[in-house]
């Protein structure tokens, strides 16, 4: 049967009419009123509409369509100083077309596609954990590797951004030598790796084949082939012939596993002649383990995959729950939540001024980070509702962090769960890791905090600042004794800045009672009372973190869609596309049906069509 391209699928499914309709009804409006300022050359405000010429083009820019429809409907676009303005009928018609595309996406009325992740190398964290699992070493083998960049929805496990730099190849080789040396230096590790030794009935070549078959299958996360084993066995024979002992002759073959493409990269086989297909049980095991553990499958997963049982829905569900109960599931807190919510930056990026904030010690930094990790881990392990992220009545502290927060009755360096009586402190918004990373070295930043809420929590990032936006002062101490809010108000008077700041700043102002390292305060650096009153569009006012969290909980759809989007992207290791939108909507629907429990979201992602399937093309 002939394979159909996405365009051919559009034609065969009857969507040609819809595509023609958008091109006929919406594209001329955009070309007439928007292209001059928002094409590939101009792109004012970072907005480019020149690709919105068809339904497919509109699908690909779906995240922008809702804002565009609102701007046109509310007469904010075209701007007042534009030479031409559309009639009321023109506005209504184009808004109708834009929203029709969005409705089509939500209902899934288009050819579906499970997507196609790019071949991915193991990122630095995955490499460290995989080598540790494979050979039982107790150090980070990839410590010297360059840091991985973020891609897709902001995660460093996206294949499109995992480039292979020439210097990385040398580091792979150096790391492989260090790992095997560590294995051979420990009798326990060596016996774990070299599972067979020659006997009268088992000659060296057969014993070596047995060892390499097991270790290569584990390293490649699938059954190794005879063709792949051949050069390893030849290397073993060469070392043996040169006078090496049996164990020493296995050194180089074992080391070669750690520089083999099938170890360093996660390959998934194509199935020629098909437009999409269900991935194999071994591929499913890898997707599952790198999603939940950021590491290779364990022996139990390998056995189920080898027996062809992992894809059984009941077995798969049971394995997910087993894996979430394992301490290795903390990787979701460190790598998924840490990158999504941004508290990963606390470890090395955030640098509060030591003179202004002398209590910010290395121990306090570590406790802040552990609070967020332990909080998210508990969310998974205890199967708490995801909305605990917004407004929980508990957190995790040790004595130093409890003192920082003003919580009595906590002693010792161990982190432990404690109830909260202050509603301003509960949830991720009240955690010092977030409040510190969204501040500047010498002051708080209502702009960074407001942007964090819009982008990281709600998934509605504001546009980038214009080139001539100006720079805010680095210190909130003012010679004129102006509060930082008063200084910011002066900045907002600039015409190019006011529009964005109206959406960003109120959210940040509501957190101004938290200082730049997350302590509660009533006066600012100039000795003035903190002004945390905020006003959102629609004349909605609030002045405390507690009131802000109530507003977020009253309308939780954006947050729920965002956590579903982020977790799905992390699980798939690829940027999300327009055809993933119905999947996200379905994930939120199932989340609500299961009382918003965190494990239900994880299970729904694992059971989803894109997680268990793969297409020939993106």
Q: Which pLDDT score is estimated for 611? A: 98
Mean pLDDT, residues 494-502: 66
**pLDDT at 470 (0 to 100):** 67
pLDDT at 4: 40
How do residues 549-578 score in pLDDT, each as one tens digit? 999 999 999 999 999 999 999 999 999 999
Give mean pLDDT, residues 184-207.
95
Token pair listed for 9: 């699928």
Structure letter (DSSP) for residue 45: G
pLDDT number for residue 68:
86
Task: Report CA torsion sign: 226, 230, 232, 236.
Answer: positive
Q: For the ranges 106-110, 180-184, 242-246, 454-458, which has the lowest average pLDDT?
A: 106-110
pLDDT at 78 over 60: yes
Q: How far is CA 88 from CA 93, 94, 101, 434, 589, in A?
A: 9, 10, 20, 45, 36
Distances (CA, A) of 583 to 80, 91, 107, 139: 39, 31, 10, 39
Average pLDDT over residues 462-473: 73
Q: Where are the domains of the chain?
A: 6-107
Give the span between the Cα atoms of 522 and 502, in whole angstroms.
24
Distance, CA of 53 to CA of 25 (rounded, Å): 10
pLDDT score at 498: 60
**Range of lowest pLDDT (9-18, 412-421, 432-441, 480-489):** 9-18
> Which of 395-404, 427-436, 460-469 shows the lowest per-residue confidence on average (mean pLDDT)?
460-469
What percentage of the chain has pLDDT greater than the value 90?
A: 69
Q: How many CA atoms lie within 13 A of 461 on its CB side?
A: 12
Of 479 and 589, the structure prediction assigns the larger pLDDT to 589
pLDDT level of residue 2 (50, 70, 90 thresholds): very low
Predicted pLDDT at 32: 81
């Amino acid at each position: 049967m002939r394979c159909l391209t996405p365009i051919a699928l559009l034609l065969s499914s009857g969507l040609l009419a819809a595509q023609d309709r958008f091109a006929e009804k919406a594209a001329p409006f955009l070309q007439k009123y928007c292209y001059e300022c928002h094409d590939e050359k101009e792109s004012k405000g970072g907005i480019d509409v020149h690709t919105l010429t068809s339904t497919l083009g509109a699908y690909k820019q779906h995240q922008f369509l809702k804002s565009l429809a609102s701007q046109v409907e509310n007469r904010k676009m075209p701007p007042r100083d534009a030479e031409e303005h559309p009639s009321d009928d023109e506005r209504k018609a184009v808004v109708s077309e834009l929203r029709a595309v969005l409705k089509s996406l939500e209902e899934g009325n288009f050819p579906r596609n499970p997507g196609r992740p790019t071949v991915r190398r193991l990122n630095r964290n995955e490499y460290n954990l995989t080598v540790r699992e494979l050979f039982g070493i107790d150090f980070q083998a990839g410590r010297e590797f360059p840091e991985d960049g973020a891609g897709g929805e902001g995660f460093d496990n996206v294949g499109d951004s995992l480039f292979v730099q020439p210097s990385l190849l040398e580091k792979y080789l150096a790391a492989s030598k260090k790992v095997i040396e560590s294995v051979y230096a420990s009798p326990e590790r060596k016996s774990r790796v070299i599972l067979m030794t020659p006997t009268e009935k088992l000659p060296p070549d057969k014993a070596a084949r047995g060892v390499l078959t097991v270790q290569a299958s584990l390293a490649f996360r699938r059954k190794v082939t005879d063709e792949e084993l051949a050069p390893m066995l030849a290397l073993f024979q060469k070392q043996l012939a040169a006078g090496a002992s049996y164990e020493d002759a296995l050194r180089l073959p074992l080391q070669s596993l750690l520089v083999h493409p099938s170890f360093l990269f996660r390959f998934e086989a194509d199935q020629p002649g098909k437009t999409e297909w269900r991935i194999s049980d071994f591929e499913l095991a890898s997707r599952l383990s790198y999603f939940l553990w950021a590491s290779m499958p364990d022996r139990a997963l390998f056995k189920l995959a080898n027996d062809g049982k992992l894809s059984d829905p009941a077995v798969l569900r049971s394995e997910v729950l087993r894996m979430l109960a394992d301490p290795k599931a903390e990787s979701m807190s460190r790598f998924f939540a840490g990158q999504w919510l941004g508290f990963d930056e606390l470890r090395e990026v955030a640098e509060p001024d030591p003179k202004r904030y002398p209590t910010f010690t290395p121990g306090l930094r570590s406790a802040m980070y552990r609070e967020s990790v332990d909080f998210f881990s508990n969310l998974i392990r205890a199967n708490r509702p995801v909305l605990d992220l917004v407004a929980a009545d508990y957190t995790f502290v040790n004595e130093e962090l409890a003192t920082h927060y003003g919580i009595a009755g906590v002693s010792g360096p161990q982190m432990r769960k404690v109830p909260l009586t202050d509603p301003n402190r509960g949830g991720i918004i009240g955690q010092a890791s977030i409040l510190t990373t969204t501040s500047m070295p010498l002051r708080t930043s209502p702009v960074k905090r407001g942007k964090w809420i819009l982008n990281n929590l709600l998934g509605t990032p504001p546009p980038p600042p214009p080139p001539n936006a100006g720079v805010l002062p680095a210190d909130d101490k003012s010679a004129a004794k102006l509060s930082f809010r008063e200084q910011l108000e002066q900045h907002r008077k600039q015409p190019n800045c006011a529009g964005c700041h109206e959406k960003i700043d109120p959210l940040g102002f509501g957190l101004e009672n938290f200082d730049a390292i997350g302590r509660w305060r009533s006066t600012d650096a100039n000795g003035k009372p903190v002004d945390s009153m905020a006003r959102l569009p629609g004349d909605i006012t609030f002045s405390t973190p507690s009131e802000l969290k109530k507003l977020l909980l009253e309308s939780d759809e954006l947050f729920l869609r965002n956590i579903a989007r982020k977790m799905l992207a992390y699980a798939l290791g690829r940027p999300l596309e327009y055809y993933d939108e119905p999947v996200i909507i379905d994930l939120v629907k199932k989340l609500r049906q299961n009382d918003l429990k965190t494990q239900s979201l994880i299970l729904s992602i694992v059971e989803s069509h894109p997680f268990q399937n793969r297409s020939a093309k993106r």
